[in-house]
Amino acid sequence: MIMAVGIRVGGIIDELGAPSFLHSFFSTISHRLEPSGWGTRFPILMNHVYQGQLTGADAGAAVVELRQARDELRNFTPSQVVWDIENLSARPPWGDNIADTITDLSNYFITSTGRDLIDTLLEALEEAEKTGQNAVIE
């Protein structure tokens, strides 16, 4: 049984999905949008959020980076998803069997609860920014 990970801000936890799914999201951002390597364009997102701990003080910067990444991911087709940056030949377990509503990589990632992953992360990060609380991936 694969355990799901979530993002917690204060007492609220939003379920995201399997660890491999979340790793795929960040792998896709790094491989497609950071030609100079992991965290070079999106340091807060890739080096703090991905690592599982973001301070409330850094949440605003993470929101800006995530919005920028979402805008740029619109330029890539679903077939350009990166499942694992350490193994670029790896493919998602569902292959190319995706919903017709997925049109590009900005809307490719859907949480295990059926929500858009980027929207879910933005909601949590905006709450962390507003309240000054940490955002924790657990």
What confidence category does residue 35 fall into, taking pLDDT thresholds of 50, 70 and 90? very high
Give 116's strand partners: 110
3-state secondary structure 25-40: HHHHHHHHHCCCCCCC
In contact, 44 and 34? CB cutoff 8 Å: no
Q: Buried b vs exposed e over 45-71: b needs ≥16 C-beta within 10 Å?
A: bbebbbeeebebebbebbbebbeebbe
pLDDT of residue 23: 97
Overall size of the chain counted in residues: 138
User: What is the layout of strands, in order, in the sheet containing 53-54?
Assistant: 12-17, 5-9, 135-137, 53-54
User: What percent of the chain is predicted at pLDDT more than 70?
Assistant: 99
- Sorted by where each begins, the domain ranges of the chain are 5-137
pLDDT of residue 94: 87
Q: How far is CA 124 from CA 23, 37, 100, 128, 132, in A?
A: 18, 26, 27, 6, 12
pLDDT by residue (tens digit) across 65-117?
Answer: 999 999 999 999 999 999 999 999 999 988 888 888 999 999 999 999 999 99
Residue 25 burial by CB count (10 A; 0-12/13-18/19+): exposed, middle or buried? Answer: buried
pLDDT of residue 64: 98
What confidence category does residue 1 fall into, taking pLDDT thresholds of 50, 70 and 90? low
